[in-house]
Chains A and B, each alone.
Chain A
């Protein structure tokens, strides 16, 4: 019985909100319905993103099983310090995004703008480091294709092989690793770039005061997207940089 009363009351409150908030779309009965629909839609969109990256992860799984030595040998060419630094940067960025959602919910406009700006900044730092890493691959001729150079790949000890240059046949397979490396980190970076563009837009809107009156759905939903992009990296970092690098 109590629930019914509460529900009626909150319904009345929404009716009131219905008049007050201009962002309420006409085709939703209540503000809450609109908010739930938005969040649900965002989760579904993230599901499609999981399937999108899923194709790449599936390819990684397959080829890693086929060419473990080539994958470890190629993985040895990546810089763990840079990767770890970027992981920290991205987790930090995710933290400030979460703080941003909080700031929007408690209607602190200044803090929201600040947190969104820090989130953007850390995102840009991540991309900068990624650029340094890509540039190094370019210099070492580790971009798959005609100019691919296999001379630097060394047999990984992890598989009981002698630590000597990889056989040409196996060394060629490192191209699959780098194909996937660039496809996966490239797709991830593309999602970061799209995210940063959206962040600029949201920061501007926050500065204008769009999210100061309790309307936080865009911030929340973007937060979900940003955390998703973080989580993809949390999988990419160990898969590409860390697994089996050291002798067992």
Chain B
């Protein structure tokens, strides 16, 4: 792990400088950012926005953990606690996790990785960012006006009949953010189909593209169903139509079907792009082509496909028939197969690779371990008998945080650390970033491992008081959350620092093979000086070595 065991290759700092022309200094002034059509600038706008909402959502999480430090309710009142976890869920899922990798790294990288100048619809791309903010402002308005306490699921009839909080405002926010996500997905699909550079065949595309493509399919097909569901909830709440109201012949269970028809695939919208990041990182830092490229590519599509047929596993205790529960349980087990294909293929990529332990790789290792635990506990929960025992307990909370935070957030940070030199042209502090990766990993496990035990012992979720014998585990969890918070603050600080003081990164600090690494960092507005012609597969390190050699002889 010493300096000799690194592939990090920075140019000579005494002579190196940022490229004179790049997308950051191409135009000046705040309006040149707010009205930009450049996918890279929109990615930066998104990155700033989702970071803002991440720390808001994180603040709610902090308050929740602080309240749970003691068995009795003392920090906040019961209904405030309900609002805290509802807002935590809404902000983190719709404003952070769903757009996290696609809207930042995806926006930045999808066109470059395909050899295109931009996404197919730059204006729609910008529109999606504005919709994100309009939706975000509605959500913030719901918060400032007094909050919403339905949980992030807007469950009927709680949301339509029993609560006197700002359900419609929050639902409007989520509805609008949904369209921002639809437009991102639509843009990606059209770009992948129509904008690939000459020679960039489907099976030469980096796996990051495949997984974002699969996630885009889910966004495009799933999100509209959430939209119409929220419209019906809002209509029911405001003018009293009866689609979900038993008094009028409606069925609340229909809401659950429609909601989870989106919200289960939404889990894959969140995790698939993260898996794409991991494929890139693992390959680069083990200097090997991703093992079983085709299998990994198709497993993304398979996850997207299966993801649409498992939604009722959220409803096993809600009165669905035994037969449908059986079928959905079986289908849920099936979706574990493509996920496992990915994990095993990454493991085989590592095998006999020349592994180095740069920061993105540390985060990627964190992802692999934590996602495996999160995925395996998902199989427990997909099993009918276990689910009856564990559902609505902290076991569920621990499970989806292992997938979403341990998996997705780790992948997001891996990606940010991996492509930061490309996005900004500068390198962050290696030792601090490694410290942050390790702190995050330790903090995460300390926070959420105790919650598996708590859930197994029967502590229900969404309550702010609990029997005194659960306190030790809860204190551990809160302590872990504090460490985790530090782990998340660190990157914010050293990444901001690197913007001005970081070492000049050069075109290809990691010696990676992707098209994005063959251009200057930060890239030009039009990405490529001339349209690249692709004559090699993704992750072809021999091609890279040959190319580098060739360059050296030309210059020398």
Contacts and interface: CB of A to CB of B under 8 A. Distances in A.
B385 interface: no
A3 interface: no
A175 B67 CA distance: 44
A26 B232 CA distance: 42
B35 interface: no
Interface stretch (B1-9, B236-244, B374-382, B535-543): B236-244
A183 B221 contact: no
Interface string A69-106: 01000000000000000000000000000000000000
B161 interface: no
Interface stretch (A34-42, A131-139, A198-206, A233-241): A34-42
Given A56-B228, A175-B248, A44 B241 contact: no
B223 A48 contact: yes
Looking at A44, A53, A178, A182, the one whose CB has the most chain B CB atoms below 10 A away is A44
Interface in B405-424: none
Contacts of B281: none
A247 to B, nearest CB: 24
B258 interface: yes
A15 B56 CA distance: 50
Nearest to B247: A172
B306 interface: no
Contact of B194 (A25, A37, A56, A59): A37
Kindly state the interface size class of chain B when it binds its partner.
35 or more
A173 B220 contact: no
B190 A40 contact: yes
A67 B516 CA distance: 58
Interface string A26-66: 11110001001100110011011101111110110011001
A7 interface: no
Contacts of A27: 111, 116-119, 122, 195, 526
B193 interface: yes
A180 interface: yes
B190 A41 contact: yes
Given A145-B239, A172-B249, A41 B120 contact: yes
Interface residues of A, number: 44
A51 B116 contact: no
Contacts of B254: 59, 62
B121 interface: yes
Given A40-B194, A44-B189, A179 B224 contact: no
A26 B531 CA distance: 13
A139 to B, nearest CB: 17
Given A53-B228, A144-B248, A179 B242 contact: yes
Contacts of B247: 172
A36 B228 contact: no
Contacts of B222: 51
A163 interface: no
B3 to A, nearest CB: 41
B250 interface: yes
B229 interface: yes
* Residue in A40, A41, A145 with the greatest tally of chain B CB atoms within 10 Å: A41
A51 B228 CA distance: 9
Contacts of B229: 55
Interface string B305-323: 0000000000000000000
Given A49-B224, A52-B227, A29 B190 contact: no
A40 B243 contact: no
Given A29-B531, A145-B241, A183-B241, A176 B249 contact: yes
A53 B232 CA distance: 12
* Max chain B Cβ within 10 angstroms of own Cβ: one of A44, A51, A54, A55: A55
* Residue of B187, B189, B248 most packed against chain A (CB within 10 A): B248
Given A37-B195, A44-B220, A55-B258, A179 B190 contact: no
Interface string B110-150: 01000011111110100000000000000000000000000
A144 B120 contact: no
B453 interface: no
Contacts of B189: 44
B250 A179 contact: yes
Given A27-B117, A144-B242, A70 B249 contact: yes
B392 interface: no
Interface in B206-220: 220
A53 B231 CA distance: 11
A187 interface: yes
Given A48-B182, A143-B239, A175-B249, 9 more contacts: A33-B194, A37-B191, A41-B124, A47-B220, A55-B224, A146-B240, A173-B249, A176-B249, A179-B248
25 contacts: A27-B117, A27-B122, A27-B195, A33-B195, A37-B194, A44-B186, A44-B189, A44-B220, A47-B221, A51-B225, A54-B224, A55-B229, A55-B258, A55-B261, A56-B228, A59-B258, A63-B251, A144-B242, A145-B239, A145-B240, A148-B248, A172-B247, A173-B248, A176-B249, A179-B248
